[in-house]
Amino acid sequence: MSVALTGNAPATFEIKSAYLPLVALMLKSSNLDRLAEELAQRFGDMPDFFDNDPLVIDLHPLNVAEAHALPDFGALQALLRQYSLLPLAVRGGTIEQTQLAIAAGLTPTPDATVQRSPPTLPMAAQETTSEPEPVAAPVPPPGALVIDKPLRSGQQVYARGRDLVVMAMVNPGAEVIADGHIHVYAPLRGKAIAGARGNADARIFALSMEPELISIAGIYRTSEVDLPASVRGKTAQVRLVPGPDGDKLVIDALGA
């Protein structure tokens, strides 16, 4: 026999579980001068790339490269705030590192996880797996940002949280950036940065691949290294392939 009991609830508040999407800084060095230089190179000409995004500082890579390094967390937070990032938490540190981070106002979050897209199963594996349980339909992402005019030197377009489609030439000195894929239905002669917030599955497509720079999820290649003749000036795609020695960019010619 079930029994229903009445209870009293506060009239002025409720406590609920909440999940906050965080940007993760995978810190690889305690050299903040070098970090400042590289942040300026990557984001110095993109003042609106971050929009007061909350951030967790992940110290796992640091402790692989520099065992037991002691970063200046106060200076690190000041540096990150210059790029409209809001450092809130730290993970993966030693006891001493965590104590320093707490003293600087950060919260330890050992249970926080950094997301990376899982590898796609081979077709044979997909066919032999059991039928998955029904799940709620995901909210569709916003439609692609479409640009139908040529981009001149000095112009920059950023598709935040979605794909970018450019219907005209991206000239040298221009820059196209997207959190998702980039499609250029014309010559790509400027810079193209896909997966700008770490989406390793993002790709870059162009009818004529002649870029100054290509980048996916932070892995980049500049025009200082010439593209092979088999893809330069051809219809091609750029994708990121994981490997035992780290991720690498792979460029494939498309079509006949």
Q: What is the pLDDT along the chain (256 residues), one digit of tens a residue?
A: 556 555 566 778 776 667 777 888 999 999 999 999 999 888 887 777 888 889 999 999 998 888 788 999 999 999 999 999 999 999 998 999 999 999 999 999 887 776 554 443 344 444 444 445 454 445 455 689 999 999 999 999 999 889 999 999 999 999 999 999 999 999 999 999 999 888 889 999 999 999 999 999 888 888 888 888 999 999 999 999 987 777 889 999 997 5
CATH superfamily assigned to domain 23-108: ACT domain (3.30.70.260)
Q: Could you confirm whether domain 145-253 is CATH 2.160.20.70?
A: yes
Q: Answer yes or no: are the C-beta atoms of 1 and 34 closer than 8 Å.
A: no
Token representation of residue 68: 């037991």
- Residue 171's closest CA among 146, 154, 193? 154
Q: Which residue has the tokens 């937070």?
A: 77
**240: helix, strand or coil:** strand
Q: Which residues contact 31 (CB under 8 A, 6 or more apart)?
A: none
Domains of the chain, residue spans: 23-108, 145-253
Task: Output the pTM of the full model.
Answer: 0.64
Instruction: Output the CA–CA distances (angstroms, integers) from residue 47 to 40, 43, 51, in the order listed.
Output: 10, 7, 9
Indicate if 145-253 has the same CATH topology as 23-108: no
Task: Give the Cα separation of 232 and 216 in Å (integer).
Answer: 18
